Every structure is written in C-alpha cells, then in structure tokens.
C-alpha cells in the first residue's frame, strides 16, 4: 500500500518516526509531508532516512514539484494518514483551507484520510475542536480517539496521540475492510442492478391532537442506510420515510409520510413495481381512534385520561399476502427473546426473511451502528456490531444470495 504520512506540529511528532518504521517493515511505501510546525519538533532528514524518499514540505518549491507535483502526490497515495494531527490541522481541514502542502493534498484527494489527533486535553475537549471532529467524521474522514494519560504540558487527560502500533493496526484494519467492501460491492451490483426496491424507514406519528402524538425512537438511520447502499449498487429505490430529519440518499426517490395509515397508502400505491420490499420502519401498531381537532385541555378535576386506540393495518403482512408479491423482508425490534420473537413474526406474517435486532438500553434505535441477525426459512446469520451502512451491505448481499438460490 502507498501511504502518505502527514506530520503536523506537536511533541508527538517524534512518534511518527516509529509509525513510518512500522509501515516500511510491513512492506508498504511511505512518503512524508511535514508542516512548518512539525519541523520545529523533528528533522525531515530522519523521515527521509526511514522512508527512503525526500520529505515534502512546501507547496511552492519548484524542485520538489519537479520531482512529483502535489496533485500527482495526492493521486499516488492509497491512504493518507496524519499523525499527529494538531487542533489547527483539524480546523483547517474542516474549513477546506489549502494554505500549505498537507491541507492542499487533503483537499485534492479522493483517497481515505485517517487522523490521529494529539493536543492538550482542554484543546481536545474544546467545543470548537469537537465540532470540527464531528464535521470531519460526517465527511467520511476516520478520526482515531486520542489516548488518555500524562501530557507533555504536565496535565493529565485525553489528548495524547495513540501509540504508533495502534495507528498502524487501525490503518491495516481500514484497508482490509475496504477490500472486503469492494469485493462484496461487485457481487452486490451484479444482483441489484436495475432491481426495484421499495423500503420503509423511520417512525410513524399517530396524532392525539394538533400538538401531541404517539411516536417511537426510530431515527430512520437503518432504513436510509439500506436505501443508500442499494442505490449505490444500482437498484432503483423508493423510500417511504416517516417523520425523520435525514437527508435523502443520492439517487433515491423519497415519499414522506407521517402516520401508519399514510405509510400503508403509499406502500399500496408503490408496491406493484417492486421486486423487493423491506419494512424497516417502526410502524405504530395502534392509532388514536378519534384525534381531537383542537388542543386537549387539562381539566382541574381530572386525575386520569383515557385514549381509545384502534389497530393499524400491518403493512408488511399485507404486502406478503398479495398475489405476485415481491420478496418481502421484515424487521423485528425486540428487547428480549429477540430470535424467538423474530422467527415467530417471520412465520406469522409469512415473510421471506426477517432482520432481528435488539433494541433498548442504547441499542438499535438512533445509533449509527447495529448488530442484525438475518433469518430466512433455511438460514440464520448473525452479524457483528458495525455501522448501519455495513449492516445494509450484508443484508442486501444476504437477500441476493437467498433469491439467487431460488432462481
Ligand atoms: O431507525 P433507527 O433509529 O435506525 O432504528 C432502526 C430500527 C431499530 C427501527 C430498525 O432496525 C427496526 O427494527 N425496524 C422495525 C421496527 C419495528 O417496528 O419492529 P416490530 O417488531 O414492531 O415490527 C415487525 C415488522 O412489522 C417490521 O418490519 C415492521 O416494519 C412491520 N410492521 C409493524 C407494524 C405495522 N403496523 N406494520 C408493519 O409493517
């Protein structure tokens, strides 16, 4: 692998030498780019001796550019690693600055970028730094959590650069995952290309009156991740979304609904065109029989209030009961006896497949990760905890496999 190692100003810069040595020893190629600040802490010659390449430090050095221009250098790398990454570097990357060679390279690359922050504990905890970290993560940069311990300034806390061995292992892990995703991606595209996927996501809101409703904790992240990955694999995706605050994934047709009845109507309208239906929405089982048209008032003499709820249509079971039905995938969100309840839903609702997930106690809902168990009539596969996009990839691959074995 070709690694571009950015070294920024900080006492941890000397540890980047050990990191260079680890990469070289494992057979990787390394080119080092230093900022002006980094050179205050360590000599470029040390990196040159270890990497076997002259260190790059200037955007405007004609000699350096003559060897390999900065755009060429950005393209040369398979992976960019910045260790240590100073608070200033995080801020510049977040802003999209290009006032030195390293930030310019990061702006001019489509390769993965991993950052190993190192700074004083208060600088790390500062709201500005944390906001920069959040934005960079959202943009897809991988940011390793800094280690805790005694700092160069004498303070104790979080902000130390992770050890070189830990950074090395994180880079190797990320590369392995990328290769696996690429391989899985090709198989996925072969199946999903031009398939029509209809998917529901998010909660439903059942109105009590104009200001109150019965809802649930679904954020829509699981269903949106599936829609995004399926669209990337070439499927034509229609996403029926309950009330969520998520952007529409690229290439996905989105229909917004609020209540279970609206979701049911949208599914009924769209399902005929679908090859596959995935019901990831957390649909309310009951709705208020008669929502009030005006805000309900609290009466002084009233200690209790009774709402009459009536059953909502079971959307996924309705789809599964149709003639010419698509391949139907349900979800089961359970707090206990997860697999038993999921298998019961698979049978009762006559689904082709179900994805069981544990919810409650910080699991399943709202988070960016999940751990699904995929269950069909003949197979059961438990997935390890990972990001919802990774879960989506495995789920779509499982569907492809189930349908291919039927064809
Ligand atoms: O949205 P996130 O925050 O990312 O969280 C993801 C999730 C936990 C919501 C998701 O992974 C999940 O489990 N979704 C299904 C939640 C749910 O309603 O499960 P259930 O066990 O109550 O329902 C079983 C199945 O029947 C589901 O496929 C559901 O969509 C469907 N159903 C339920 C009731 C109803 N009236 N109509 C339905 O179609």
| Domains, in order of start, for the chain | 2-172 (3.40.50.1950), 193-291+304-406 (3.40.50.10300)
Q: What is the pLDDT of residue 236?
A: 97
Q: What is the spatial distance between Cα 310 and Cα 68, in angstroms, rounded to a whole number?
A: 70
Crossing angle for the helix pair 164-192 and 221-232, nearest 10 degrees? 70
CB-based contact 284:214 (threshold 8 Å): yes
Beta bridge partners of 237: 197
The reported pLDDT for the residue numbered 149 is 86
Assess whether the previous peptide bond of 24 is cis (omega < 30° from 0).
Answer: no
Q: Are 296 and 216 in contact (CB under 8 A)?
A: no
pLDDT in tens, 334-343: 999 999 999 9
Alpha carbon distance 20, 41 (integer Å): 16
Note the pLDDT of residue 404. 80
Q: Is 365 in the pocket of ligand 1 (CB under 6 A)?
A: yes
Residue minimizing CA distance to atom 7 of ligand 1: 365
Q: What pLDDT score was predicted for residue 406?
A: 62
Low-confidence ranges of the chain (pLDDT < 50): none
Alpha-carbon gap, residue 94 to 71, rounded angstroms: 20
Q: How many whole angstroms from 279 Cα to the centroid of ligand 1?
A: 7
Ligand 1 proximity of 241 Cβ (cutoff 6 Å): no
pLDDT at 356: 98
**pTM (2 d.p.):** 0.70
| DSSP class of 216 | -
Of 202, 266, 279, the one to substitute when testing ligand 1's pocket (max ligand atoms within 8 A of C-beta) is 279
CA distance between the termini of the chain = 40
* Mean pLDDT for all residues in the chain: 94
- Selecting among 106, 153, 276, 355, the annotated active-site residue is 153
């Amino acid at each position: 692998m070709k690694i571009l190692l950015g070294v920024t100003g900080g006492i941890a810069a000397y540890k980047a030498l050990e990191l260079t040595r680890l990469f070289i020893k494992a057979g990787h190629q390394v080119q080092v780019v230093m900022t002006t600040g980094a050179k205050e802490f360590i000599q470029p010659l040390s990196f040159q001796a270890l990497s076997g390449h002259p260190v790059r430090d200037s955007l405007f050095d004609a000699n350096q550019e003559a060897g390999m221009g900065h755009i060429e250098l950005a393209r040369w790398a398979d992976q960019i690693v910045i260790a240590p990454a100073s608070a200033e570097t995080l801020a510049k990357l977040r802003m999209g600055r290009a006032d030195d060679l390293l930030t310019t390279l990061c702006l001019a690359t489509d390769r993965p970028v991993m950052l190993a922050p190192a700074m004083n504990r208060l600088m790390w905890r500062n709201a500005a730094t944390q906001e920069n970290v959040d934005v960079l993560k959202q943009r897809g940069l991988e940011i390793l959590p800094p280690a805790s311990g005694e700092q160069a300034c004498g303070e104790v806390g979080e902000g130390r650069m992770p050890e070189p061995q830990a950074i090395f292992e994180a880079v190797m892990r990320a590369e392995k995952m990328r290769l696996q995703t690429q391989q899985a991606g090709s198989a996925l595209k072969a199946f999903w290309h031009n398939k029509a996927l209809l998917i529901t996501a998010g909660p439903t809101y059942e109105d009590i009156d104009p200001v109150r409703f019965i809802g649930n904790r679904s954020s829509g992240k699981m269903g949106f991740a599936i829609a995004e990955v399926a669209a990337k694999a070439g499927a034509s995706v229609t996403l029926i979304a309950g009330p969520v605050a998520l952007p529409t994934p690229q290439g996905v047709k989105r229909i917004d609904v609020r209540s279970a009845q609206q979701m049911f109507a949208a599914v009924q309208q769209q399902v005929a065109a679908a090859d596959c239906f995935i019901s990831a929405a957390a649909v309310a089982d009951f709705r208020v029989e008669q929502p009030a048209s005006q805000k309900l008032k609290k009466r002084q003499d009233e200690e209790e209030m009774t709402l009459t709820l009536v059953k909502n249509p079971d959307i996924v079971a309705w789809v599964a009961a149709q003639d010419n039905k698509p391949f139907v995938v349900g979800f089961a969100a359970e707090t206990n006896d997860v697999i038993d309840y999921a298998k019961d839903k698979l049978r009762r609702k006559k689904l082709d497949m179900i994805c069981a997930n544990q919810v409650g106690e910080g699991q399943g809902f709202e988070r960016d990760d999940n751990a699904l168990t995929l269950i069909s009539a003949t197979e059961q596969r438990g997935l390890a905890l990972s990001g919802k996009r990774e879960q989506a990839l495995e789920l779509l691959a499982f569907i492809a496999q189930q349908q291919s074995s039927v064809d």
